[in-house]
Amino acid sequence: MKKVLGFLAVTLVGGVLFTVSPISWANNQVTTAKQHVSKQEKKEQRKEEVAKKIADYLGISKEEVTVLMKKERHLVVAAVISKLSKQPIGKVVEAKKTEKTWKKVAEKYKIDRKQIKQEIHKLFPDIRKGKQLFHKQPKKVFDLIASYLGVKKDEVVLIWSNNKIHAHGIVKAAMIAKVSGKSLEEVVKLKQEKKTWKEVAAALNVKPEQLKAEAKKLKEQLKKKGKENKNQ
């Protein structure tokens, strides 16, 4: 179950981050404050770890990376393009401002998307493990989505198999379907017309904060299911 939780976290890392679990303000203000600090500390710790990885990867100081992190949210992509193009990471970050998207920045430096993915997997091997888990234990993921949407698992499997969709895509599609009120199939079909899941969400008036809330629900649902299995 921990592995499936890891898969879910990895699946959502590109565009959706889990938020702090809500705690009753009336019941315990002190606990809320402590948990907020704890969450902030963990967030800062993760930033430190990512900064160190990028610094070691590019052979530059962590201080330089930390400064750039304040300018660019997706610095890992910038680091990979910097490495592959042999351009300073600062220059790559500036190129993003001009080109607007990382896809165009990659094209500017003649970097293939597959190369970027391969390098990111080297930096963060857990991403690859998460995707491998889907292929090893797809039943758990399909069960989760079916329960989450209130549909039959066979329906989820059929939609996934009939459409060229990645492992993480079916989870994103499920969240967008839940928020928008559309069926899973409608959302997946719309993805064929759009370039990204972000565009699909925008087309259906689904906001990022709504997806964050759904991500938290999915995570909690998975935890609950894990506890139930242990008690059986």
pLDDT, tens digit (0-9, with 9 covering 90-100), for 26-58: 344 444 444 555 667 877 888 888 889 899 999
Identity of residue 110: K
In whole angstroms, how far apart are CA 105 and each of 71, 96, 108, 112, 190? 16, 6, 5, 11, 26
pLDDT, tens digit (0-9, with 9 covering 90-100), for 189-221: 999 888 788 899 999 999 999 998 998 888 787
């592995």: which residue's tokens?
3
Residue 154, token pair as written in the block: 């066979």
**What's the CA gap between 154 and 162, in Å, rounded?**
12
**What's the CA gap between 183 and 179, in Å, rounded?**
10
How big, in percent rounded to 5, are the helix, strand and coil portions of the chain?
75, 0, 25
pLDDT, tens digit (0-9, with 9 covering 90-100), for 122-133: 887 765 555 555
Q: Is the pTM of this model over 0.85?
A: no
